[in-house]
Amino acid sequence: MEFTAIKGFKDILPEEAGSWQVLESTTRRLFSAFGFQEIKPPLLERTELFSRSIGEETDIVSKEMYSFKNSKGRGLTLRPEATASVTRAYIQHRLYQKNPVQKLFTIGPMFRHERPQKGRFRQFHQINAEIFGDPGPKSDADVIIMAMYLFDSLGFDDLSLNLNSLGCLECRPAFREELKGYLRDKTDALCSDCRRRVEVNPLRVFDCKVEGCIQIVSEAPSILEFLCETCKVHFERLIGYLERLNIPFVLNHKLVRGLDYYNRTTFEIQTTRLGAQNAVLGGGRYDGLVKLLGGPDHPAIGFALGMERVVSLLEEKVASEEKNPDLFVAALGGNAEKVCFNWIMELRKAGMWVEMDYGSKGLKAQMKRAGRLGAKKVFIIGEDELASGKGVLRDMETKVQDEVDLKDSVANLLRAMG
């Protein structure tokens, strides 16, 4: 039997690793300038944490979670997203006691049993950023601007920032009723899932991918017309911050996002280059979640970026940045091999990428390997060189050869390599 990765789970191969590293290092640099600290919650949590946070009626909880029971019969789930886990950790470790405003980020895999397709996997990776403890639109602007700057640093220029407000407990009920009324008139044309959603959670109809339902919601009433004064002012102030920094956005009143914890600001960054799975980042405010999970009444906002989708758009650029060893040491004969083995370790410790053959091949084979690896220089040491006390350093591009004194060879090599 041949083992292959299971459906929807994918290997990230060495040739792709460069793009992942660029994405991670750009993120870390930018996020630290915005004052975010890293947190690493576990991948496995109690099932109720997700069902309560994300909502029983959502696609994620109703059909996409990898859940099982442990030996005590307790339901456990591989996290489908990170916000619930980060919030649980925020509450459990009382992170708010150290700092009333906590800015946290986490990078790692998530698991959703969705139908795999281009840009959609069952194990995928997200970069999550969350701010706890600030209710105002400035923290909304903070996370949205940080997200836009991240894409800017990565060289993306085709993105569209979609913005909406879902209102609050004051104003959303009136909108829900209005939407219910609108949808009830059209139940016959809705899919069977949406017919049920009309009564339990009508906003979820906006997420439906069935053509008939998309048609119906395209003419649905807009939540933006129903915002109370506080939500309206919050949203307008956020828009002001974005406009003053010339961050372009489009208002999209159908952007309800697929998770129930959101209130007020929601946003999604979309690209035209990915087909159906066009969202590279999504987020919003979730002021009620900390309290819902048993913590203090602290507001929060955040987003998650889909790393596979972003990396797939990055790949071309990073693949062209080839990486090659600084030096290949060609040792010929048992004595030279022993001496060179010690040298390469010292050179590596000093930070130089040095390669040496694991076997005992002849010069021709070793030069061939050095060429294949793209080594910039080759240091050749055989019995003759050991006897004369001088090794040969060959520049693979110019073919120029220099002699290097073997006394203090490591220091001499480091110097000769610049």
Q: What is the contact surface with ligand HAM in residues (CB under 6 A)?
A: 81, 83, 112, 114, 120-121, 124, 126, 128, 130, 258-259, 279-284, 286, 302-304, 306, 308-309
Nearer to ligand HAM, 120 or 254 (CB): 120
Between CA 5 and CA 252 the distance in angstroms is 38
- 268 or 355: whose CB is closer to ligand HAM? 268
Q: Measured from the CB of residue 210, what is the shortest distance to ligand HAM in angstroms?
A: 19
* Smallest separation, CB 302 to ligand HAM (Å): 3
Do residues 353 and 325 make contact, with C-beta atoms less than 8 angstroms apart? yes
Contacts of 401 (CB under 8 A, 6+ apart): 392, 393, 394, 395
Smallest distance, ligand HAM to C-beta of residue 192, A: 23
Residue whose CB is nearest to ligand HAM in the complex, by number: 306
Q: Which amino acid is at 151?
A: F
Q: Which is nearer to ligand HAM, 85 or 366 (CB)?
A: 85
Select 265 or 366, whichever has its Cβ closest to ligand HAM: 265
CA distance 406 to 389: 5
> Closest approach of Cβ 401 to ligand HAM, in Å?
52
Antiparallel, parallel or unpaired: β 44-46 and 263-271: unpaired
CB 150 within 8 Å of CB 26: yes
| Closer by beta carbon to ligand HAM, 311 or else 375 | 311
CA distance to 58, 138, 382, per residue, from 259 (Å)? 6, 23, 66
Q: Nearer Cβ to ligand HAM, position 54 or 344?
A: 54
**Which DSSP symbol is given to 6?**
P
Cα separation values, 59 from 113, 209, 252, 260, 343, Å: 10, 11, 21, 11, 58
Tell me how far, at minimum, the Cβ of 120 lies from ligand HAM, in Å: 4
Please answer whether residues 310 and 159 qualify as being in contact, where contact means their C-beta atoms are separated by less than 8 angstroms: no
Angstrom distance (rounded) from CA 359 to CA 366 = 10
Here the tokens at position 168 are: 């609050």
* CB-nearer residue toward ligand HAM: 149 or 353: 149
Q: How far apart are CA 357 and CA 153, in angstroms?
A: 39
Name the minimum Å distance from CB 94 to ligand HAM: 20
